[in-house]
């Protein structure tokens, strides 16, 4: 991330290529909010 001066990124793994773009947009919007989360995932640890 330092090489590209990113604050955050969205990782879409190869085993979920048909992820709904609306879900991706919702996650991106969450990270733009003042109370942004530290992490978002669709996998329960």
Read off the pLDDT of residues 4-39 as tens digits, 9 standing for 90 and up.
888 888 888 888 878 889 988 998 999 899 998 888
Q: Quick one: pLDDT band at residue 45, thresholds 50, 70, 90?
A: low
Answer whether residue 2 shows pLDDT above 80: no
C-alpha pair distances (Å), 9 with each of 17, 24, 32, 44: 17, 11, 12, 19
**Model pLDDT, residue 1:** 61
CA dihedral 11, 15, 17, 19 (to 10 degrees): -70
Answer whether residue 44 shows pLDDT above 80: no
């Amino acid at each position: 991330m330092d090489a590209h001066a990113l604050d955050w990124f969205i990782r879409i793994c190869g085993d979920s290529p048909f992820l709904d773009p609306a879900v991706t947009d919702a996650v991106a919007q969450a990270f733009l909010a003042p109370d942004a989360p530290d992490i978002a995932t669709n996998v329960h640890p």
